A and B are shown apart, each in its own frame.
Chain A
Amino acid sequence: MNRPGAPATAAVPAVERYLAEITARLPGPAGAHSGIMAELRSGLLDATDSHQAAGLALAHAVQAAIDEFGSPALVADGFRAEIAASHARRVAVALLATGPLVGLLWIATAAASHLSIRITSPWQWTSPPAGLGVGIQLVAVAVVVTAWGALLGIAATGRLTRWLPACPRRAPTAAAVAGFAAVGADALGLALLAAALATTPGKLAPLPAAAATAASLARLLLARRAAHRCLAIRASLT
């Protein structure tokens, strides 16, 4: 119910100040919480309407609604775990979605380079660059850690949460581990590429190598940023 003096959508300064205090306590940019703030705003205005209907003047009705909502710190505490979960889930899904793509580009690079080497000088592969095998194994380990971390991050934030004991730090931790493992996988891939360039210059297929490099570089930078943010959000959880 809307009564005169409490417009349905117009900003009520005291409500906006209260919401700003909550936003300031939430991790991430203010714009990321616009949905939460819109929902809280409508709840506060509904409560204001109710108090006005009971006979309070607008200013008192607004204050009563704010008092009933609880302190900004209390409300922000409740949402922080939810924001941590949704950020961790986004990071985990992005890592799982981009992983096979970047992996395919590297496989294409290896296959195309191998082919060109075979056509021109097949004996080159009899003595692969030193450490290549170890490097590939390390990449495989990093990829497995990324996939497990991301899957755990998704499991800890979706429907499985109803059967898992509550632990708000689980998802951001898993997503951060997955993010840093992805950084490791991409950095190792790029290092192997650099080693191949140094030991067998001119043998790499340039197009797939350039595409794989660009994809890995982009993912490395984004995954590093996302993982750091997961850690920051994790640290903000009480």
Chain B
Amino acid sequence: MRAETLKGHLDGILLAVLEPGPGHGYAIMEALRVRSGGQIDLPNGTVYPALHRLERAGLVQASWSEAGGRRRRVYQLTPAGRRALDTERSTWRDFSAAVSALLQPAPLAVNPS
């Protein structure tokens, strides 16, 4: 799936990936790939600025941790992030229901003749 298709939904997707627990950049990318069944495969480098933006908005918080001799920046949802995720979910449900209804093949028009 192309980045343009995801535009406007990446923040919600990242929040959803972090919902089960904290994760660092690469783990988040892997979770995106696995949970989307390989459909979402963004350039890894573009996820980091998005995570920084979420941090600035107070939706996630980041801290450095060290494991196996490598320092990683680990992100986790804040209470505001959980609330934002709930809002994203309900907005998405309404949106997808409306678009699905619209994209349904229309019933054939009754020919008056």
Binding site for B on A (CB under 8 A): 1-2, 7-9, 22, 36, 38-40, 42-43, 45-47, 50, 65, 68-71, 74-75, 78-79, 81-82, 85-86, 157-159, 161-162
A-B contact pairs, 11 of them (CB 8 A): A1-B68, A43-B26, A46-B24, A65-B44, A78-B46, A78-B48, A79-B49, A86-B56, A158-B57, A161-B53, A161-B56
B54-77 interface code vs A (CB 8 A; 1 in, 0 out): 001111000000001111110000
Min CB distance B66 to A, Å, is 9
The size class of the interface chain B forms with chain A is: 20 to 34
Number of A-B contacts (CB under 8 A): 97
**B59 cross-chain contacts in A, Cβ below 8 A:** 162
For the A-B complex with A38-B73, A79-B52 known, give 6 more contacts whose Cβ atoms are closer than 8 Å: A8-B68, A42-B26, A45-B70, A47-B26, A78-B45, A79-B48
Contact check, A157 vs B46: say whether CB atoms are below 8 A apart: no
A75 to B48, CA, bound (A): 8
Tell me the dominant secondary structure on chain B's binding face. helix
The answer to whether A78 and B49 touch (CB under 8 A), given A8-B70, A39-B73, is yes
B80 CB–A CB distance under 8 Å: yes
**A42 cross-chain contacts in B, Cβ below 8 A:** 24-26, 70-73
Contact check, B50 vs A78: say whether CB atoms are below 8 A apart: yes
A75 to B24, CA, bound (A): 17
**Contact with B45, one of A1, A50, A75 (Cβ below 8 angstroms):** A75
A85 to B53, CA, bound (A): 9
Min CB distance A67 to B, Å, is 9
B43 CB–A CB distance under 8 Å: yes
Contact check, B70 vs A74: say whether CB atoms are below 8 A apart: no
Contact check, A2 vs B57: say whether CB atoms are below 8 A apart: no
Contact check, B45 vs A74: say whether CB atoms are below 8 A apart: yes
**Contact with A158, one of B49, B52, B58 (Cβ below 8 angstroms):** B58
Contact check, B24 vs A74: say whether CB atoms are below 8 A apart: no
B84 CB–A CB distance under 8 Å: yes
Contact check, B44 vs A43: say whether CB atoms are below 8 A apart: yes
